[in-house]
Structure formats: C-alpha cells, structure tokens
Amino acid sequence: MESSPPPPAKKPKMSSASGSDEDPESAAAAAPRRRPKRRKVAIFIAYCGAGYQGMQKNPGAKTIEGDLEEALFLAGAVPEPDRGNPRRYDWARAARTDKGVSAAGQVVSGRFYIDPPGLIDRLNAHLAAPIRAFGFARVTSSFNAKKFCDRRRYIYLLPVFALDRTAHPDREAVLASLGSDNELAKCSECSLRGRKLPGLPLQDPPSDPRSDKAFQFGDEERSRFNRILGGYVGTHNFHNFTTRTKAEDPAARRFIVSFAAGPVVRIKDTEFIRCEVVGQSFMLHQIRKMIGLAVAVMRNLAAESVMQTALRKFSFLWVSKREFFWGRDVNINVPTAPEVGLYLDECFFTSYNQKWKDSHEAVAMEGYVEQAEAFKEQFIFPHIADMEEKEGAVALWLHSLNLRNYPDLG
C-alpha cells in the first residue's frame, strides 16, 4: 500500500529582525503614528478689546474666546471632533471681560495637544494681531483658570480732566449759566459732535471760570480721590454696581482688596490717572460703575454718603432708639464709566502655586512681563488714547453725568 505524500513544507515567516528587501522608510510610513497625549495647561494671553463683543463666546458676535477656540484648532491643539465644543477639552477663563475691555494678563486653561513643540508660535500664527499668546504652564489635571484664580487686578486709565468739575458741563448747566458771572462754556471738541449750543462761542474751558488757575491733579485731589476709592475696599454688597442682581443674592457680596489712584501718565496728548483695583472677583460692569460713582462724587454731583448708601443691602427703618427693622432694598442708579479705559492687568493663583510648588511650575506672569508691557504700548494704550482724542469717549460721557439722568445721586 502506497503511503500518501507528505504535506508541503510551510514557508518560514520572515523575522522583522532578519534581512529583507523591503524599504524600511516605507515600513515606517505604513506603521500607525501615535497621537501625542493631551496635557492640561494654562495659557497666558493678551488682547485689545477694540472691535470685540467681550471675552466670552456669544453666538453671532465677534469675541476673543471665539477667535481663540478657532486658532487652537488650527494650531493642532484641539482635534476635529472637539472643534467648537470647548467643554470637551475643559476650557476655562480666569476672567470674563466686557465689550471693548482689553487684557494684558488673561489666563485660559484646557486639555490640549502641545506636542510637537511650538504651540505658542502656531497659535499666534492663526490669531489676529490684537490677540497674542505669551506662553503656557503645565498644570494639574484638576486645574481650572476661573476656580483657581485667587485675585484679579484691573487698571482703569481715567483722563485727568474727568475730575475737573468745570470741564465738559452738561447742556442744561451751560444754558443755565448764560449771562451770569459764572458763565460756563462747552468744549469745541464736543461741539463738533452735535452738542453745539446757540449763542456760545467755540472754546475749550479746561480751567475753572472763577479762577485763573488750571485744574491739576495735585496732592489734595489725589488724597480725596483715594479716600473715595478706599470706600470700596472690604466686603460689600455691590448689587447697585451691576445689572439684574438682587440685593439678597449672595453673588452681590464681593471682596475688594485694594483700590487706589496711582501716578499720572501721559499717552500721546492726554494725561490719565492710573486707577488700580484688586479683588477676588468682579461682576458685570462693577468696576466701571465704581469708577463712575467716584467721578460723580469728585465732580460734586453726589455726596460721599451716596456711595455708602449704594453699598447697603437694605435701608433701615427705625422704630425707637434701640429697635429697628430691615426696610426695602436700596436701589440706586449708578453711572457707568466708558469701557475703553479698563483692562485686565493680571490674574493671581497664589493658593494653587503654594500647594503645588514642589511638583508643578507656577501659574504666574513673571516670565512674560516684558512681553505684556510691549503689548500694552503697542495696542492697549494707543487705543485708549485714540478713543479719547478722536471719539471723546469720556468727555461725551461727562455730559450725561447730571442729576437729570441720575436723580438718585442728588
């Protein structure tokens, strides 16, 4: 009986280590590339608020956040499935700036692809010039730029003439003064913007018509202004310094660390007072309203007691010398200073940095001070000066600062 032929021998498999005629470069190209891991980082940015509807993204509006999100995608930091969906990469901002408000030390955080190196250069390549990224810091997985920010420092550049109560008087005051010994004249700049009054010559009145001495922000004025600003320091109920917030809302209670008027700085042809405020957090329009009421007090439109009243939660109704009960909410219409002079100067993460100092780099602006100052000089300061010189942002606002528009100040 014939035996069946043996089965054909199997071809030995080629070992990857053995020699082969296959092109190693082709094999490497065919191998799947490993996607780098996402890393939680805090990114330091600056921007000029001109032409933007604020920091926070808003459908149909041009915002800083909207431009940033798109630039992060184009820079390769965000994958296609997460494009336009910041929640998927833990997006957070340290502060929410209003329309037209700038920032020199804003911080945002999220989980991004930071490899290969060069994320900041790629990001800036896809951002408009008024928005710049300075750098980033690796942070803990639980880091959140909003929740971990201890304090925020804002600067308001207020034109010196805003504190001169004889400059830029309102229309009614000018008309009422005609023919009197204290006749007030309006400025020619505001006249050219539709505020020309019949029978009044075009002239600029930077000085008190009852004195030959021009207004100056000297030691006496500085001392008074700082006393007024100091009234905001501490924990108060700021429901009158924002919108749509009730007196009983816990969110109305805010802590102000410091508020003071610094040196006078000249930008182009205008002198500004550098007003610096530091607080844990701020509500919508809060800083602009604090500045607005302080200017009203300095111009003698309102007594300093009005500011104390505006910071109360309720009014007191006295029954006897020893008894009182809560009355109605204190509601005062507080003037809002223009947004153009305000910018976010720096965000502080003191508690976080102290806790993680041994394992993570600090989230701080120390390494980007020169870049931030250069950005202010190039974008923020010229914008503030131009808005005053060409548009008269504060000058025109002063015309509306009267008891007819704000009867609660009287």
Q: Which of 23, 82, 90, 98 is catalytic?
A: 98
> Which tokens is 99 given?
């329309």
How far is it, in rounded angstroms, from Cα 197 to Cα 66? 44
**Which positions ≥6 away from 198 have C-beta within 8 Å?**
none
Our answer to whether residue 98 is catalytic in this structure is yes
φ, ψ of residue 250 to 5 degrees: the values are: -60, -25
Q: Tell me the catalytic residues.
A: 98
